[in-house]
Structure 1
């Protein structure tokens, strides 16, 4: 699976409540630098509230914009 495919899976979650398990499932068969351990955590950065990534150096980060009802408004990668 490519990072673009993961992003497509994650975009399918827009409009639903943020659920860590659903986010992790979107990473199915994705690895970077031979690693597959997925980290999902709150972000301290301005502009997005949650972040998900593979636990390895220089991994692709998937950023989530979440509204006050904990619904995913947008997701992008950087």
Structure 2
């Protein structure tokens, strides 16, 4: 269920990524937790959608986070 919540937030609320960046800056462990929930239990279409968003709609301040999200989503999608 946690993985589904993570992918839903990323896929459906991508515009809130700057807020996620601010939260992660205050709690750096959250990033690893979030990335660990981008996994093979999720729908491949959602994973590819999040990868696409991370590549094409990343705010300039979030390049590092977007790269990690895209890599995690790609790895999970291609492992299914």
- What is the TM-score when the length of structure 2 is the normalising length? 0.32
Richer in strand (by share): 1
